[in-house]
């Protein structure tokens, strides 16, 4: 049984005379340890699918099951708590808190989880070292390059010990060198710790590293290649 199962997902926008189907019956299963890319042209529905899996958006119809829990039926407060403990996020825009250091940014999610101060500080340092930022622990985002900031966001995503990480266009703002370094780190985490990564991406460099590519076109799964 997969850690993520979507069943007949539909997202319909009906503000116009003709309803727009961002997703139109998407059913996929993601197994633990996958390194998967969801790809497709702009407007195809890939980011919508990622947002549904992450509980950031609600389907018009269908279900999302994570670890056997139907998250589409969870009340708002329980869904927020579920995301906090089960899902890690890496965004295109990094989403770091500018006034906090790299260590404090990584610690923040553990603080929300109620992890003791000493434990979260040690884990934050360990994670930043694992993504090659042992010399940037006390730097704020404004003092780091885009690639370094995105590595902090990967460390932050891992900090909560999630079942999987959702990465929405994580390389979009990075140069080739930073992209290669970031993907190497993510692959290492995947292989060493069996961390599941699911990407939404246009980036050919990400697709080349993926072990599975799910192509979304016009709101449906056009291809699913292993």
Q: What is the pLDDT of residue 207?
A: 96
The per-residue pLDDT of the chain, averaged, comes to 95
Measured CA to CA, the distance from residue 186 to residue 174 in angstroms comes to: 15
Give the global pTM.
0.94
* Distances 125 to 97, 102, 108, 146 between C-alpha atoms, Å: 17, 9, 13, 20
pLDDT tens, residue by residue, 100-126 = 999 999 999 999 999 999 999 999 999
How many whole angstroms separate alpha carbon 90 and alpha carbon 93? 9
Torsion of the alpha carbons at 50, 24, 224 and 160, rounded to the nearest 10 = 20
Q: What does the pLDDT read at residue 81?
A: 96
Residue pair 203/171 in contact (Cβ under 8 Å)? The answer is yes
* Cα–Cα distance, 59 to 45 (Å, whole number): 12
Place of tokens 């799964």: 221
Task: Decide yes or no: CATH 3.40.190.10 for domain 35-58+71-225.
Answer: no
Token pair of 182, please? 């970031």
Taking the mean position of all CA atoms in its chain, how far away is CA 109? 15
SS (H, E, C) the chain: CCCEEEEEEEEEECCCCCCEEEEEEEEEEECCCCEEEEECCCCCCHHHHHHHHCCCCCCCEEEEEECCEEHHHCCHHHHHHHHHHHEEEEECCCCCCCCCCHHHHHHHHHHHHCCCHHHHHHHHHHHHHHCCCCCCCCCCHHHCCHHHHHHHHHHHHHHCCCCEEEEECCCCCCCHHHHHHHHHHHHHHHHHHCCEEEEECCCHHHHHHCCEEEEEECCEEEEEEC
Q: Rounded to 5 degrees, what angle do the CA atoms 203, 209, 213 make?
A: 75
Burial of 63: CB neighbours in 10 Å, binned 0-12, 13-18, 19+: middle
- C-alpha to C-alpha distance for 225 and 137, rounded to whole angstroms: 39
pLDDT tens-digit profile, the chain (226 residues): 799 999 999 999 887 788 889 999 999 999 999 999 999 998 899 999 999 999 999 999 999 999 999 999 999 999 999 999 999 999 999 999 999 999 999 999 999 999 999 999 999 999 999 999 999 999 999 999 999 999 999 999 999 999 999 999 999 999 999 999 999 999 999 999 899 999 999 999 999 999 999 999 999 999 999 9
Other Cβ atoms closer than 10 A to 21: 16
């Amino acid at each position: 049984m997969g850690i993520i199962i979507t069943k007949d997902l539909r997202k319909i926008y009906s503000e116009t005379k003709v309803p727009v189907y961002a997703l139109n019956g998407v059913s996929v299963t993601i197994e633990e340890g996958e390194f998967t890319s969801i790809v497709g042209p702009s407007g195809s529905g890939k980011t919508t699918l990622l947002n549904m899996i992450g509980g950031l958006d609600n389907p018009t119809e269908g279900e999302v099951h994570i670890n056997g829990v139907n998250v589409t039926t969870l009340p708002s407060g329980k869904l927020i708590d579920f995301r906090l403990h089960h899902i890690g996020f890496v965004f295109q825009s990094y989403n770091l808190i500018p006034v906090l250091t790299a260590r404090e940014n990584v610690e923040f999610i553990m603080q929300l989880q109620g992890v003791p101060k000493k434990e979260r500080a040690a884990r934050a340092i360990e994670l930043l070292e694992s993504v090659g930022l042992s010399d940037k622990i006390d730097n704020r985002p404004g003092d780091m390059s885009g690639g370094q900031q995105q590595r902090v966001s990967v460390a932050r995503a891992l900090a909560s010990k999630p079942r999987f990480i959702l990465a929405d266009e994580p390389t979009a703002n990075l140069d080739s060198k930073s992209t290669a370094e970031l993907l190497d780190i993510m692959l290492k985490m995947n292989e060493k710790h069996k961390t599941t990564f699911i990407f939404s991406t246009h980036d050919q460099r990400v697709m080349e590293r993926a072990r599975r590519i799910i192509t979304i076109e016009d709101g449906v799964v056009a291809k699913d290649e292993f």
